[in-house]
Amino acid sequence: MTLGNKLAWDDTVLPFQLDKSDIRGRVARLDGVLDGVLKQHDYPPLVEALVAEMALLTALIGQTIKLRWKLSLQVQSDGPVRMIATDYFGPTDEGEPAKIRAYASFDADRLTQGAPFDQIGKGYFAIMIDQGRGTAPYQGLTPLAGGSISACAEAYFAQSEQIATRFSLSFGKSQEPGIAEYWRAGGVMLQHMPKASPFAKGEEATGEGGLLHPRDLIDEDAEENWNRANILLDSVEDLELIGPSVTPADLLVRLFHEEAPRVYDAQPVRFGCTCSEDRVRQTMSIYSQKDIEKMTTDAGRVTADCQFCGAHYDLDPATLGFDAPNA
């Protein structure tokens, strides 16, 4: 079924389980979300590709968090692309869509002609989970390695969660006759579900830079199932992942019909930002009037721009700071 140019299964994450293989996973399809993220900025193509990959990973990973929780992914590097940040806001209520936002900071004059990941230097990949007020956020880090952001995410799950994880992603601009270019993305995430406490089977890690590789976490009993699922996933085509003509459920049947795939309710996702004037004022409340004066423009205003959605805030400095008259 189509809704104009939009497919009914776009901007959704479908969780599933392969009962015969002790493997769980998700299929994600994004189009409007990426449109919402990328149209806020005039990113060069290489940066757009990195943001698209990061947003797709965020949708796949974020589907597991609970209502009203927030999951954030970050890449920090010393390369031309200094940072990529994404947020996934869990639904406020059952059946409501989750929200995703993303942005990147980069040095345009340092970008090269190489692959997107070549624009990222040394640094780290981070996942943070905020469960709400009164709780301490969780954060896990892993070095940047493996040649793609998805490989960094696989390494994160191996090191921090001791869960064998595999991603297969595809993203790019859709070009159809008579229709303006627009971004589409799709991907599959697989995770092996350990029957007992997870452990690394080998004495040495086999991943890049001494990191654990997902295969290091698979014991002999599970190795055949995990390898078979990965071989089947390797057969997927880019157009099947992006999904203009293949539904997520049909894709799972095509890939894993012998593994007895079981699907659950799909989670809708939307582009969304939580910035507001009240939040800007709250951020400014830690500064004194003397600090606020240093932020004031020649026009006598304090301005702030949201890096995620591009919203612009223009505020009276007399109303800001912890010692403002109405603070």
Domain that holds residue 239: 9-271
pLDDT in tens, 274-309: 877 888 888 788 888 888 888 898 888 888 877 887
**For the residues 236-245, what does the mean pLDDT come to?**
88
Instruction: Indicate if the pLDDT at residue 125 is higher than 50.
Output: yes
User: Tell me, what's the pLDDT at 314?
Assistant: 86
Residue 197 — pLDDT band, cuts 50, 70, 90? very low
**For the residues 151-162, what does the mean pLDDT come to?**
93
Same domain? 220 vs 315: no
The reply to whether 110 falls in a domain is yes
Number of independent structural domains in the chain: 2
The reply to whether 2 falls in a domain is no
Instruction: Indicate if the pLDDT at residue 22 is higher than 60.
Output: yes
Instruction: Output the pTM of the full model.
Output: 0.85
Residue 161: which CATH number? Answer: 3.55.30.10
The reply to whether 120 falls in a domain is yes
C-alpha R_g of the chain: 22
Distance of CA 290 to the CA centre of its chain: 39
Same domain? 174 vs 289: no
User: Tell me, what's the pLDDT at 69?
Assistant: 93
User: Tell me, what's the pLDDT at 326?
Assistant: 59
User: Tell me, what's the pLDDT at 182?
Assistant: 78
User: What backbone phi and psi angles, to 5 degrees, belong to 36?
Assistant: -65, -40
Same domain? 178 vs 307: no
**Burial of 137: CB neighbours in 10 Å, binned 0-12, 13-18, 19+:** exposed
User: What backbone phi and psi angles, to 5 degrees, belong to 194?
Assistant: -65, 140
The reply to whether 85 falls in a domain is yes
Same domain? 207 vs 309: no
Same domain? 265 vs 292: no
Same domain? 62 vs 110: yes
Same domain? 171 vs 303: no
User: Tell me, what's the pLDDT at 231?
Assistant: 96
The reply to whether 1 falls in a domain is no
Q: What is the DSSP letter of 236?
A: -
User: Tell me, what's the pLDDT at 155?
Assistant: 94
Residue 1 — pLDDT band, cuts 50, 70, 90? very low
